[in-house]
Amino acid sequence: MAKRVVILGIDGAGRFVQEADAPHLHALLQAGAYSYDAQTVFPSISAECWGSLLYGVNPGQHGLDNDRAIHQHIPESFPYASLFKLARQQWPDAPLSAFSCWEPINTGIIENTINVHMESKPDPELTEAIVDYIHR
């Protein structure tokens, strides 16, 4: 049984990541399951895609778009549970975290009432925040 699960989503980076000189990232990918071609929905619009990835339903069902994700939180009455909410229900004491350089993932797509540590920062600062979090 896995002790940790890391979901690494890199928006629009498929071929770039494949060709990058990034041995640690490639080793991480080789140790798990990955795809360079995965796409949640088309057309590729941030909130629609991240909503579909995290909730497991299409945009017509989850109703998330960039405007909604930027300006609203997921209501308690939302009919779907994100991967984070499902994990919280299964493992109530598990440390869950979400790090994103696009803040609406943390403020308007992931439920804000389920005790998930969330940080949104520009890439260089986000990397430092992730490392700090892992070393706690």
DSSP secondary structure of 21-60: --HHHHHHHHTS---SS--SSSS--HHHHHHHHHHSS-HH
Q: Look at residue 72 in the predicted model and tell me its pLDDT.
A: 96
Q: pTM for this one?
A: 0.87
pLDDT digits (tens, 9 = 90+) for 34-65: 888 777 888 888 999 999 999 999 999 999 99
Tokens 């943390």 sit on residue: 106
Instruction: Look at 44 and 11; give whichever has higher pLDDT.
Output: 44
Task: Give the mean model confidence (pLDDT) for residues 115-122.
Answer: 96
Q: Look at residue 13 in the predicted model and tell me its pLDDT.
A: 72
Contact status, residue 101 vs residue 122, Cβ threshold 8 Å: yes
d(CA 10, CA 131): 17
